[in-house]
Amino acid sequence: MVLRSETGEVEGVTLTKSICSIWDQVWNFQARPDDLLIATYAKAGTTWTQETVDMIQQNGDVEKCRRATIAKRHPFLEWLTMKHPTGLELAEAMPSPRTIKTHLPVQLVPPSFWKQNCKVIYVARNAKDNLVSYYHFHRMNKALPDPGTWEEFIEKFMTGKVLWGSWYDHVKGWWKAKDKHRILYLFYEDMKENPEQEIQKILKFLEKDVNQEVLNKIVHNTSFEIMKENPMANYTREFQAIMDHSISPFMRKGAVGDWKNHFTVAQNKKFDEDYKKKMADTSLVFRTEL
Ligand code: A3P
């Protein structure tokens, strides 16, 4: 049986107790100049971006991308769960160039990443779809705290009392940081609307070039339909003791606007009013439908 995580805080940001217990090690992580960091708020399209980046790095070679599960290809910096090597261990053992995943808000990113001037790809997803996805993920992933009811989870999300803290602070913090560091800031909704265009942005950012045939292959193999069936990307190959895909599959819907199937009119109104206040101090604009 897996016990759901207890939570703690680092500088006011909610994290699992186990992450808090190794926080010094996370903070002192030694980035290398050629590390690429993929940073997201949880459920914003991390895995999708990871697969896209790997397809680019492997020049569209599907077999190479299936060399290992996504969790092994890209260490999850701050993460640790029972019986699995920690993200730090995986990262330290990995030869360069490494691609590393994190959900940390920008102020908690280990300073060595900035010192080494590492490139970062940040992906943001509109709050409502992000929240829906996070709710279902808590239901199926027993390593996360119990989400409570949908109504309760909305409240937790709005107050930022969820793992990796406030979505609002996360997207705003990274948005500000992009003017100071080498950060490519992408949106889930754009990736969904025009994957080829967004892949082109990543190619440019990574200073890579591929021909049209390879580009088509990348678009195809990173589509929701293909990734859903890819055991090396859909999390069915490991974490079986933690994730129960029969409750809600990791590759759940992969859509923009699914929030409409979850929010009541009253919940939506309350959420929107609160959102306006929390997002009044940013130029960041999200689309909640396509
Ligand atoms: P849903 O729960 O809305 O379906 P993360 O990788 O950050 O945990 O995000 C998971 C979310 O991204 C899930 O959202 C998942 O279905 C979606 N996703 C994964 N791969 C995708 C793809 N290729 N295209 C669109 N959405 C994808």
pLDDT, tens digit, for every residue of 83-137? 788 999 999 999 999 999 999 999 999 999 999 999 999 999 999 999 999 999 9
What pLDDT is stored for residue 2 in this prediction?
66
> Domain count of the chain?
1
| Any domain includes 286 | no
| Any domain includes 274 | yes
**Gap from CA of 85 to ligand 1 centroid (Å):** 24
| Any domain includes 5 | no
| Any domain includes 181 | yes
| Any domain includes 140 | yes
What confidence category does residue 82 fall into, taking pLDDT thresholds of 50, 70 and 90?
confident
| Any domain includes 2 | no
CATH code assigned at 150: 3.40.50.300
| Any domain includes 9 | no
Q: Contact 181/115 with Cβ under 8 angstroms?
A: no
Rounded CA separation 224/166 (Å): 27
Please confirm whether the linkage preceding 95 is cis (ω < 30° from 0): no
SS3 call for 124 = strand
| Any domain includes 87 | yes
SS3 call for 149 = coil
Ligand 1 pocket: which of 50, 76, 224 to mutate (most atoms within 8 A of CB): 224
Would the CB of 49 count as within 6 Å of ligand 1? no
Q: Contact 132/258 with Cβ under 8 angstroms?
A: yes
pTM for the model stands at 0.98
Handedness of CA 192, 194, 195, 201 (dihedral sign): negative
Query: Is 1 a residue whose pLDDT tops 70?
Result: no
What pLDDT is stored for residue 81 in this prediction?
84
Structural domain that includes position 152: 31-278
